[in-house]
């Protein structure tokens, strides 16, 4: 995150390779000790699309893919999100021109980045004033409804980047393996930072994505219909910073995650279905810390994954009792 | 339901002279457990094959344990052989979820929470004979209310039950009651949306006025 005068520029990237496994984060700015969530305060989000074609994806196809991706986010129940395509533009998707632009840019220097989202925000209120998404035309893209072999699906990547545009950070609900390069084994969030292999589709929001976007734009009905889990992760009596905590619903299989974001190891996971949840904690042990949190933080990834030995019932419209998990070093 | 039909027919029997007799009683009860569902933490696989198996982060299987509790009864004998009985029961089962096969080698564990389960309802009781030793059958329906730990959530629903047992009267007032039966709950604590039928046992004392 780089601050520019009274505004902030935030770049979040989707790497072509790397590892991970965690849950939703909200983007924000810090005001003193307070964290201000980034969000659009007025709807619809008005956006332009660059009038530049790339092989296999024309500008109208990019417009259509972006429209479908916006509609997917707007289709989450009880969230107030809408968007409006304004028109094609010759402008590049770069911050500072006052317009929200989505388009292709050739960045061969970013050989692990499929796309990136940047913002101009009011750092006091957290309101997003402008956001731009670029898709790296160095890679091979596809707009085919069923995808194409060896080409990245533009709608899948647009869905991820528009998640950022709306204020979501990365999720760590996914697993990777290093077999000569990081390869995703599975992911249960569109906001997982590492893309699936070319030719795959990832156009469906998961429980973690829904909880995250609802946490930002959800109506009161959402907050009254869901609940949250709160607690603390410790090791040798001290808080663990950067631990990934998953709430798993044994009834539905839904997983929603969160992070311990302060040195005392406390966490909150909101937007959970009421009822019993199984809580699991794991280290940020196989991912790029910078994909999730400020890499300057003193992240502790030296502990074993563990389950909390009690089921935790999430009350409707409320917060569970505190879940305190003591982890041990690897 | 078959038990209920039989008992409704029994209601048509003529009332006897001592139909005003009232009984109260209390028992220790135990209810059986049941499987509460299996669910794995699946992730979408990184595959171009839409039929590819999901990636499994860990697996879970859940049970509701057998439980002990207490029951109170108030019965009105409407004939020499037939009684209408109101019951209130509370038991304390546990909801347990076994988590295992973790991809990152988190130690397998059984997570649990204590549940408080209430039943309030009515039964019809038919005694096969009169005297000190009274075999009987009973059946009825109840309102089920189950509270998660810390009262953080509640499950409510209807329950039907049927069974039989014996009463043994030591004298005019005090007697022993033992019974066994089945309790079928349309909705109950657990992770499967299906009817659960559990065995029940009870042993206690009766007092009649």
pLDDT in tens, B154-196: 999 999 999 999 999 998 899 999 999 999 999 888 888 889 9
In the structure, what pLDDT confidence band is assigned to residue A23 with cuts at 50, 70 and 90? Answer: very low
**Residue B96 included in any domain:** yes
Q: Is residue A181 packed enough to be buried (19+ CB in 10 Å), middle (13-18) or exposed (0-12)?
A: exposed
In the structure, what pLDDT confidence band is assigned to residue A249 with cuts at 50, 70 and 90? Answer: very high
pLDDT, mean of residues B132-149: 96
Q: How far is B193 from chain A (nearest CA, A)?
A: 9
Look up the CATH number of the domain holding residue B191: 2.40.160.20
pLDDT, mean of residues B9-15: 41
CA atoms of B55 and B134, how far apart (whole Å): 60
Contacts of B99 (CB under 8 A, 6+ apart): A278, A280, A307, B58, B59, B60, B106, B108, B109, B110, B111
pLDDT, mean of residues B20-29: 90
B11 has a pLDDT exceeding 80: no
Half-sphere exposure of A46 (CA within 13 A, CB side): 7
pLDDT, mean of residues A198-212: 94
Nearest to B39 among A253, A307, A315 (CB): A253
What is the per-residue pLDDT for A24?
Answer: 59
What is the per-residue pLDDT for A32?
Answer: 74
Interface check for A274 against chain B (CB to CB < 8 A): the answer is yes
In the structure, what pLDDT confidence band is assigned to residue A285 with cuts at 50, 70 and 90? Answer: low
Percent of chain B with pLDDT over 70: 90
Which helix (H) or strand (E) segment is A34 a member of?
Answer: strand A34-37
Against a cut of 0.95, is the pTM above it? no
Q: How far is CA A173 from CA A48, A53, A189, A190, A206, in A?
A: 31, 33, 6, 9, 10
- Domains of chain B: total: 1
CA atoms of A155 and A68, how far apart (whole Å): 7
B82 has a pLDDT exceeding 60: yes
Q: If you write DSSP's letter for every residue of A118-145 in order, what string do you get?
A: EEEEETTT-BEEEEEEEEETTS-EE--T
Answer yes or no: are the C-beta atoms of A21 and A244 closer than 8 Å: yes
Residue B38 tokens, joined: 């299996």
Residue range(s) defining the domain that contains residue B200: 2-9+28-37+58-208
Interface check for A253 against chain B (CB to CB < 8 A): the answer is yes
Contacts of residue B51 in chain A, CB cutoff 8 Å?
none
A143 has a pLDDT exceeding 50: yes
What is the per-residue pLDDT for A261?
Answer: 85
**Residue B63 included in any domain:** yes
B18 has a pLDDT exceeding 70: no
For residues A165 and A2, the model is more confident at: A165
In the structure, what pLDDT confidence band is assigned to residue B93 with cuts at 50, 70 and 90? Answer: very high
In the structure, what pLDDT confidence band is assigned to residue A26 with cuts at 50, 70 and 90? Answer: confident
Look at A318 and B150 and tell me if their CB atoms are within 8 Å.
Answer: no
Interface check for A305 against chain B (CB to CB < 8 A): the answer is yes
A258 has a pLDDT exceeding 80: yes
Least confident of A304-308, A311-315, B168-172: B168-172
Q: Which of A174, A186, A284, A327 to mutate to test the interface with B (most CBs of B within 10 A)?
A: A186
Chains A & B: contacts with CB separation below 8 Å = 131
What is the per-residue pLDDT for A284?
Answer: 85
CA atoms of A270 and A293, how far apart (whole Å): 19
**Residue B109 included in any domain:** yes
Longest dimension (CA), chain A: 57
**Residue B77 included in any domain:** yes
A14 has a pLDDT exceeding 60: no
CA atoms of B44 and A245, how far apart (whole Å): 19
In the structure, what pLDDT confidence band is assigned to residue B16 with cuts at 50, 70 and 90? Answer: very low
Half-sphere exposure of A188 (CA within 13 A, CB side): 24
Least confident of A144-153, A271-280, A289-298: A289-298
Q: Which CATH architecture has domain A226-327?
A: Sandwich (2.60)
A21 has a pLDDT exceeding 70: no
**Residue B16 included in any domain:** no
Q: How far is CA A167 from CA A41, A227, A303, in A?
A: 11, 21, 30
Q: CA A83, A85, A86: angle at the middle one, nearest 5?
A: 125
pLDDT, mean of residues B142-154: 92
Question: Kind of pairing, strands B154-169 and B133-147?
Answer: antiparallel
Q: How far is B90 from chain A (nearest CA, A)?
A: 20
pLDDT, mean of residues A21-28: 56
**Residue B19 included in any domain:** no
Based on its alpha-carbon atoms, the radius of gyration of chain A, rounded to whole angstroms, reads 19
**What is the domain partition of chain A in residue ranges?**
2-213, 226-327
What is the per-residue pLDDT for A19?
Answer: 24
In the structure, what pLDDT confidence band is assigned to residue A152 with cuts at 50, 70 and 90? Answer: very high
What is the per-residue pLDDT for A25?
Answer: 72
A2-213 CATH fold: Collagenase (Catalytic Domain) (3.40.390)
**Residue B50 included in any domain:** no
Contacts of residue B96 in chain A, CB cutoff 8 Å?
311
For residues A207 and A18, the model is more confident at: A207
User: What b/e readout covers A230-259, taking b as 16+ CB neighbours within 10 angstroms?
Assistant: bbbbbbeeebbbbbbbbbbbbbebbbbbbb
A289 has a pLDDT exceeding 90: no
pLDDT, mean of residues A72-82: 94
**Residue B91 included in any domain:** yes
Q: How far is CA B23 from CA A169, B74, B113, B146, B206, in A?
A: 66, 6, 36, 28, 7
Least confident of A140-149, B16-25, B101-110: B16-25
B115-131 confidence digits (pLDDT tens): 999 999 999 999 999 88
Residues 71-110 of B with CB under 8 A from A: 95-97, 99, 102-107, 109-110
A240 has a pLDDT exceeding 90: yes
Contacts of residue A285 in chain B, CB cutoff 8 Å?
104
CA atoms of A189 and A187, how far apart (whole Å): 6
A198 has a pLDDT exceeding 60: yes
Nearest to A310 among B39, B58, B112 (CB): B112
């Amino acid at each position: 995150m780089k601050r520019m005068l009274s505004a902030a520029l935030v770049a979040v990237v989707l790497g072509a390779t790397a590892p991970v496994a965690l849950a939703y984060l909200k983007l924000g700015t810090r005001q003193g000790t307070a964290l201000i969530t980034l969000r659009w305060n007025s709807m619809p989000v008005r956006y332009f699309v660059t009038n530049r074609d790339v092989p296999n994806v024309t500008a109208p196809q990019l417009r259509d893919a972006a429209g479908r991706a916006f509609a997917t986010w707007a289709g989450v129940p009880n969230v107030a999100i809408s968007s409006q395509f304004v028109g094609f533009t010759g402008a590049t998707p770069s911050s500072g021109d006052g317009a929200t632009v989505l388009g292709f840019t050739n960045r061969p220097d970013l050989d692990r980045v499929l796309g990136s989202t940047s913002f101009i925000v009011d750092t006091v209120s957290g309101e997003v004033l402008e956001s731009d998404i670029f898709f790296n035309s160095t890679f091979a893209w596809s707009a085919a409804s069923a995808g194409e072999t060896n080409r990245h699906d533009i709608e899948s990547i647009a869905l991820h980047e528009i998640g950022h545009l709306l204020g979501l950070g990365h999720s760590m609900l996914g697993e990777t393996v290093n077999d000569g390069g990081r390869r995703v084994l599975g992911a249960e969030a569109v906001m997982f930072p590492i893309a699936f292999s070319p030719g795959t589709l990832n156009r469906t929001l998961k429980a973690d994505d829904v909880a995250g976007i609802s946490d930002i734009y959800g109506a009161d009905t959402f907050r009254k219909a869901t609940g949250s889990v709160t607690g603390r992760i410790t090791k040798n009596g001290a808080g663990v910073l950067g631990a990934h905590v998953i709430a798993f619903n044994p009834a539905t299989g839904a997983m929603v995650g969160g992070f311990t974001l302060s040195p005392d190891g406390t966490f909150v996971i909101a937007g959970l279905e009421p009822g019993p949840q199984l809580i699991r904690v794991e280290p940020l042990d196989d991912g790029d810390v910078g994909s999730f949190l400020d890499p300057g933080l003193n992240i502790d990834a030296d502990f074993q994954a563990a389950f909390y030995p009690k089921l935790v019932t999430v009350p409707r419209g409320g917060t569970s009792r505190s879940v305190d998990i003591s982890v041990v070093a690897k | 339901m078959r038990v209920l039909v039989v008992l409704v027919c029994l209601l048509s029997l003529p009332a006897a002279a001592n139909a005003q007799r009232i009984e109260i009683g209390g028992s220790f009860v135990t209810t059986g457990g049941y499987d509460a569902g299996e669910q794995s933490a699946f992730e979408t696989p990184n595959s171009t094959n839409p039929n590819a198996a999901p990636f499994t982060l860990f697996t879970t299987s859940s049970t509701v344990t057998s439980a002990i509790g207490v029951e109170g009864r108030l019965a009105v004998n409407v004939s020499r052989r037939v009684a209408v009985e109101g019951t209130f029961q509370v038991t304390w089962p546990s909801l347990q979820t076994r988590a295992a096969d973790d991809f990152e080698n988190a130690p397998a564990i059984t997570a649990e929470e204590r549940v408080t389960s209430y039943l309030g309802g009515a039964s019809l009781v038919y005694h096969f004979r009169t005297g000190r030793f009274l075999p009987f059958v009973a059946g009825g329906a109840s309102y089920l209310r189950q509270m998660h730990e810390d009262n953080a959530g509640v499950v409510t629903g209807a329950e039907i039950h049927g069974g039989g047992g014996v009463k043994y009267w030591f004298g005019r007032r005090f007697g022993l009651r033992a019974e066994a039966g089945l309790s079928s709950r349309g909705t109950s604590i657990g992770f499967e949306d299906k009817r659960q039928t559990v065995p029940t046992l009870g042993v206690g004392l009766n007092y009649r006025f």
